[in-house]
Amino acid sequence: MAHPNAVHVNGTSQEQHVLANGFKRKIDWTSFANIINGEPRTSSKTYHSIDPSTLEPLWEAPVSTSQDVDDAVSAARAAFPSWSLTPVEIRAELLVHFGKLAFHDNGEALTALLQRETGKPAFVAGIEVANSYNHCTFHENLRLPEERWEDDEKIIVTRYVPMGVVAAIIPWNFPIVLAIGKICAGLLTGNCVIVKPSPFTPYSALKMVEIAQESFPPGVLQVLGGDERLGPWLVAHPGIQKINFTGSISTGKKIMAECAKTLKRVTLELGGNDVCIVCEDVADVEGTAAQVALGCFFNTGQMCVCTKRVYVAEGIYDRFLEAMVRFTNGLKVGRPGEEGVMVGPVQNEMQFEKVKGFFKDSLENGHTFVAGGQEARGEVEEEKGYFLRPAIVDRPPTDSRIVQEEQFGPIVPVLSFSSPDAAIAAANDSDMGLGASVWCDDVARAEALGRRLDVGMVYVNSFEKPDCHGYMSGHKMSGIGGDSGVLGIKEMCNVQVMHTYKRR
């Protein structure tokens, strides 16, 4: 029986749509297509990405045309009126239904696919898939607030309303969880979402949205794969009301400039040169050093909130550095299927060459490597793939490239500080301000230091671990707006204020 409040889309209620399907669609994990208006659509032109751990070609993926973009936008706009009026409780139920199908029922296959296209170690891919399901369940009970003000003459109600069609542009480092955060917030608030995965990692997003068609009406959630033309087409399209982008600062600037032409709303989650401050009162130097190293090299350092700069109090610097080097040298580098692998390959050749540039620059400038293959410039020569050994550079100059720029790979500088004021000044001396961590046995002191950091997220006694319950955003050039939490769903809405005057 359909939900008594279910809204009909294309003649079928939302609840009937789910119950009628029961996941009857057979999934072919080696065939990939766009999903437009609920149906797979192939393209005359295709391309393939590669497995970064073997450099072997993967499957053919679609290259969307401008007509595909127009058709997807038209389908989303057609679905929006009914979807936006669907009770939020039903939209939330469908998100959980989708999460169960994608990340529980098909979680093992999706994890394996994610490993092939990204090179992630098994535990990192597993965390990404599990966190994607957590996003779905978190949004189940999340609701937009309403504000009410009343006097003798009138009632003023402020509420949040969906925008329409949202394009979610996803990077290659976390192709599932970064997509699902935007999908959940967009769909819960009544928008229709078009996902654009990175051409480096198209496969998991294409398959995830294919699975989603068992849960949502046609046109509500779609996906388009493609080349370098696809993003600009979406950004410029007059039928799209919002662009939610995660990626580089340079691309974010281009998107913002183009969106100004149609006054699109934008969320830009961009790069970070995240800082870690380790205070002198840390008693467990060994354990803290291990955790800090994990924060630097998790996902091979390819995370916007990975630690990119480490500042350690002078009184414990030598002990801390020795412990961090010891732990880092014990991290196994290898392919996803190998037992005990902690660090996989860099995901693509472009980023591989960029990260090697940091090794080269530090070597040429005489910086001291205390971990990582100095003679081999960090490369793991016996492996075929984009592998680099995790590297630590000991106290490079503060104006060096390794300190001033975001590496987005397995190399990090470690520096010392003489006072908390000096640490804060060094940390804030950046045009980026995404995340930071403060390690201190005195938690109140750590929180006080954290409040002085010009960043969007501060982690106390932990490396950076984004959580769907907390808003993820940056200061300065690290972005505009953000994702996750209650603020994240507000980002997907316009504000409407209703003034109701009382009849006398």
C-alpha dist (Å) from residue 324 to 229, 295, 329: 43, 11, 9
Name the catalytic one among 269, 406, 464, 491: 269
Q: Which residues contact residue 128 at a Cβ distance below 8 angstroms, ignoring those fewer than 6 apart?
A: 111, 114, 120, 174, 176, 177
Q: Which of 168, 159, 154, 31 is nearest to 84 (CA)?
A: 159
Q: ∠ CA(75), CA(78), CA(80), 5° rounding? A: 105
Which tokens in the block code for residue 160?
Answer: 């949040």
**Inter-helix orientation angle 88-99/177-188, to 10°:** 160
d(CA 360, CA 340): 29
Sign of CA dihedral 471, 477, 481, 483: negative
Q: Which of 376, 346, 384, 349 is nearest to 360 (CA)?
A: 376
Return the SS3 of 427. Answer: helix
C-alpha dist (Å) from residue 81 to 7, 26, 77, 115, 182: 10, 30, 8, 38, 20
d(CA 320, CA 289): 6
Sign of CA dihedral 113, 116, 118, 121: positive
Q: Are strands 46-50 and 57-62 parallel, antiparallel or unpaired?
A: antiparallel
Q: Which residues contact residue 142 at a Cβ distance below 8 angstroms, ignoring those fewer than 6 apart?
A: 92, 188, 486, 489
Q: Is 269 a catalytic residue?
A: yes
d(CA 381, CA 369): 18
Q: Is 296 a catalytic residue?
A: no
* 122-126, long-range: CB < 8 A, 24+ apart: 122/336, 122/337, 122/341, 123/342, 124/298, 124/299, 124/344, 125/336
Q: What share of the chain is helix, strand, coil (3-state, %, to 5)?
A: 40, 20, 40
Return the SS3 of 380. Answer: coil
Name the catalytic one among 184, 304, 440, 493: 304
**Residues with catalytic annotation?**
269, 304
